[in-house]
Chains A and B, each alone.
Chain A
């Protein structure tokens, strides 16, 4: 399961923070979630990654106790999110995908209100400062920009000092600077011992933040693992290089490991596809030297999580 650095105090055999088994959810005839299974280890960041309509929000809202599973089971901190809602609500922070504030409430007032429902909330003014919300503390919610609403929503999720956080698309609509600072905050929450589950359709976000990624499509998990594992488990990576036209690609293939393919795609432009590692690059360089060939450019293309996602789902993320 999740690669977890011992920044919190993960104990072997600890109850998973979230344990979803064979979850099915239907809206009328539409099946939104179809046999989804995933677990979240405590003190980790887990991303649920998928295109629109994949069932991300339905899954996360079932974990938040807003819906009862039609089939399968959901346990959050070892409890039933619907039956034990009163026990979970103080312990779980929730960031909704949109809305969640009175249109006439001022941002600081709204945050203060949520804080006042908790026993040991964060200091509201410090949190406002940390999230750079000071300039719109007295602005009514309806006049906030989308990004400002997102920040307030995130602030409301963490102000009660939860041990588990559900963030539904935490950086949707944020500018790059705000997005970066949200990432930093999520990393800091994690190192402070908070377990975080987030949905996103930003690949780089999942890659940068997560210990564990679950790729969801059509209401089920189609791949799980660390971002590195997922990216690496796909088909081969490639090396592109240019050199003089008409090299003997068959001879080159003979020199390289045996499932490696080489093509001259246009005269002088070559593509090497296979398990690209330093050894392969060294062999390639040696072969070129033995042929008296100077490679003019050489580019290694590592497959990203995004490529892997496309490969798995046949869909672009956005």
Chain B
């Protein structure tokens, strides 16, 4: 080389990092940013934890029906945690990534599109693992007695995978079509509406019949009720599982047709 004024060698030496390294870097970056963001931590950890603790004392406020309150509320909180991470948090983060040209910037890097997608999935899964671990432990400490044994745990995992896929697709559908501010508003609004009246926390049997028929068809109702049924030792109804599957298929098809990367 010609005598360089710095130690930097700027001569071309292009190349992509190995795929595994790119995926690791991308997932770690997404995770770091999520955990640094106060609103995201509030919505994914603080709110579910507070509701779990308050909910265990909820009998005075809402009649959750027959059974121990903590046994009813804990599976619902797990469903809420899934909603917060796979839907609200993912939608908001992706919306702003589009808005600030990050998806474009990464699109110009060697990271392939699938790498971007798998990085998001990796971050969502990692956060959910932490949420489920912390919330289950706190639930157990508050007296939660899950039934159904190991089968119920496997049912929970299957339901959570399905629920994450359904909510994640819906989140990306919003983030990929609306402006970032609209995504923020819609994602938070849906979170609050489903939290209050989406069949997440309160058993579907406690709703009026007309409302119940609607809520059974929502992914929130299906996930919440499926988890409650699993930990009651009954297993999720086939109906709830099919509802989650249909939401997943429809929303992901729509995403693949409408999502705009910038």
Q: Using Cβ atoms and an 8 Å threshold, which residues of chain A touch B13? A: 119-120, 161
Say yes or no: B102 contacts A161, CB within 8 Å.
no
In the assembled complex, B66 has its CB within 8 A of some CB on chain A: no
In the assembled complex, B111 has its CB within 8 A of some CB on chain A: yes
Checking B5, B96, B100, B104 against A188 with a beta-carbon cut-off of 8 angstroms, the contacting residue is B5
CA separation between A109 and B28, bound complex, in Å?
11
Within 8 A of A (CB), among B231-250: none
Say yes or no: A117 contacts B16, CB within 8 Å.
yes
Q: Interface SS of chain B: helix, strand, loop or mixed?
A: loop
Q: Using Cβ atoms and an 8 Å threshold, which residues of chain B touch A65? A: 108
CB-CB under 8 A for A194 and B102, given A116-B22, A117-B17, A120-B15 = no
Within 8 A of A (CB), among B162-190: none
In the assembled complex, A127 has its CB within 8 A of some CB on chain B: yes
Shortest CB–CB separation between residue A209 and chain B, in angstroms? 15
Q: Using Cβ atoms and an 8 Å threshold, which residues of chain B touch A117? A: 16-17, 22, 25-26, 109-111
Shortest CB–CB separation between residue B94 and chain A, in angstroms? 12
Q: Using Cβ atoms and an 8 Å threshold, which residues of chain B touch A156? A: 105
Q: Using Cβ atoms and an 8 Å threshold, which residues of chain A touch B26? A: 113, 117
Say yes or no: B17 contacts A96, CB within 8 Å.
no
- Using an 8 Å CB-CB cutoff, how does the interface string of B183-208 with A read, 1 for contact, 0 for none? 00000000000000000000000000
CB-CB under 8 A for A104 and B33, given A96-B104, A127-B8, A193-B11 = yes
Q: Using Cβ atoms and an 8 Å threshold, which residues of chain B touch A101? A: 100, 102, 105
CB-CB under 8 A for A89 and B100, given A162-B14, A192-B11 = no
Q: Using Cβ atoms and an 8 Å threshold, which residues of chain A touch B14? A: 90-91, 118-120, 160-163
Say yes or no: A66 contacts B107, CB within 8 Å.
yes
Within 8 A of A (CB), among B87-146: 96-97, 100-102, 104-105, 107-112
Shortest CB–CB separation between residue B118 and chain A, in angstroms? 14
- Using an 8 Å CB-CB cutoff, how does the interface string of A32-71 with B read, 1 for contact, 0 for none? 0000000000000000000000000000000011100000
Tell me how many residues of B have a C-beta within 8 Å of chain A.
Answer: 40
CB-CB under 8 A for A126 and B16, given A96-B101, A103-B100 = no
Q: Using Cβ atoms and an 8 Å threshold, which residues of chain A touch B5? A: 188
Say yes or no: B17 contacts A126, CB within 8 Å.
no
User: Ordered nearest first, which 3 A-B pairs have the shortest CB separation?
Assistant: A99-B101, A119-B15, A100-B105
Known: A102-B33, A104-B33. 13 other contacts (CB 8 A): A65-B108, A66-B108, A100-B101, A103-B100, A105-B29, A113-B29, A114-B109, A117-B17, A119-B15, A123-B8, A126-B8, A192-B9, A192-B10
12 chain-A/chain-B pairs, Cβ below 8 angstroms:
A66-B262, A96-B101, A99-B100, A99-B102, A102-B102, A104-B33, A113-B25, A114-B109, A116-B21, A120-B14, A123-B8, A161-B13
